[in-house]
């Protein structure tokens, strides 16, 4: 397995080279985006780690141009908290990068080992991902709104929804953009979004996603009430659940919790708090987070949806949910958007009667 490390810092490149070689990988290095573009055309590169802020073309532009040449899994590594760098990292996700991770830079740091473990685990999973070469186009027409078949229409006929919970990880941002941009606004229900993303990127992620919808997207606060036409995401380092009064309940991540934010935590709490009034949606991502929560929602009679695995950048999250037998419907992103719009239409009709 050949890894290309793209970073303008020689120290970081040497550090990552040593780590990757210890795990049996062959390592190439590039100190700039321009050099990376030359490298992918000259060498057999299987996966790339990409810095965000570099002289010349940045990580977003480099990602975009590489994926026009070859379909290669790209992981963004960022240690910067600057707005411009974070926005470039989020734009790299839109361009086709698969994940953003914290850049391990200091072997003496308390979290260095966990950063390395996460990076190596991600590389192991990402190397199996088939990435499609992207051709530059002036604009990408939105996938047309799908008409729901009669079976899907009947499955939402008697719903009385109160909240929608959407879970996503790697490959999720582009699907979320498509689904949220398809939703009719004002949308009559609140949405809680659990997107696995590196700490420090939530604000940039919100700014980016807000460009595609008129719904209000914001970081949730403790005890916040749920409102229609609102998308809430948990703050960094906090798990999101619901109180007995159906408000947001935030709790700080503990050392025993491997995933934060955890989709299972939110979905299980929604099942206990809202029961049939909750709707769970499982999108692209690696791992199995969300599968247990989807099961619990199904057990209380709630509607559960999963992205069709062959439309997901990384299929393991929807696949593990589907394998539980607890998913009501397996749908394409366009069909998920159409179904949520149908549900919203029914809610609007009930409000007007």
Residues noted as catalytic: 169, 196, 289
Distance CA 341, CA 353 (A): 19
Which residues share a beta bridge with 100?
76
- How far, in Å, are 85, 182, 341 from residue 144 at the CA level? 33, 9, 13
Contacts of 155 (CB under 8 A, 6+ apart): 303, 328, 329
Contacts of 298 (CB under 8 A, 6+ apart): 304, 324, 325, 326, 327, 328
Does residue 261 have a cis bond before it (omega within 30 degrees)? yes
State both tokens at 206.
Answer: 């919100």
Sheet holding 74-78, edge to edge: 26-30, 2-6, 47-51, 74-78, 99-102
DSSP 254: P
Query: Rounded to 5 degrees, what angle do the CA atoms 106, 101, 314 make?
Result: 150
């Amino acid at each position: 397995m050949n890894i290309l490390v793209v970073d303008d810092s020689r120290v970081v490149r040497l550090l990552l080279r040593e780590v990757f070689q210890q795990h049996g990988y062959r390592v190439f290095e590039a100190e700039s985006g321009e050099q990376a573009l030359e490298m992918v055309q000259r060498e057999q590169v299987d996966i790339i780690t990409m810095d965000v802020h570099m002289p010349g073309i940045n990580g977003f532009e480099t990602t975009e141009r590489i994926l026009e040449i070859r379909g290669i899994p790209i992981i963004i590594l960022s240690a910067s908290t600057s707005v411009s760098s974070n926005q470039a990292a989020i734009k790299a996700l839109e361009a086709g990068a698969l994940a953003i991770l914290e850049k391990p830079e200091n072997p003496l740091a308390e979290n260095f080992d966990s950063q390395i473990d996460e990076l190596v685990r991600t590389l192991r999973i990402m190397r199996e991902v088939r990435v499609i070469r992207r051709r530059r186009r002036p604009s990408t027409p939105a996938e047309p709104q799908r008409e729901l078949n009669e079976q899907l229409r009947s499955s939402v006929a008697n719903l009385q929804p109160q909240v929608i919970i959407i879970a996503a990880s790697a490959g999720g941002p582009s699907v979320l953009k498509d689904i949220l941009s398809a939703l009719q606004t004002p949308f009559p229900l609140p949405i809680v979004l659990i997107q696995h993303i590196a700490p420090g990127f939530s604000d940039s992620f919100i700014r980016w996603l807000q460009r595609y919808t008129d719904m209000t997207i914001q970081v949730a606060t403790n005890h916040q009430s749920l409102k229609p036409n609102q998308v809430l995401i948990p703050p960094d380092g906090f798990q999101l659940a619901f109180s007995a009064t159906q408000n947001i309940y935030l709790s700080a991540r503990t050392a025993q919790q491997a995933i934060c934010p955890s989709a299972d935590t939110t979905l299980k709490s929604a099942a206990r708090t809202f029961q049939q009034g909750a709707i769970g949606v499982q999108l692209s991502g690696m791992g199995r987070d969300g599968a247990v929560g989807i099961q619990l929602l199904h057990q209380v009679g709630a509607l559960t949806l999963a992205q069709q695995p062959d439309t997901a950048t990384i299929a393991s999250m929807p696949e593990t949910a589907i394998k539980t037998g607890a998913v009501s419907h397996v749908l394409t992103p366009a069909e998920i958007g159409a179904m949520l719009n149908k549900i919203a239409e029914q809610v609007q009709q009930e409000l007007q009667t």
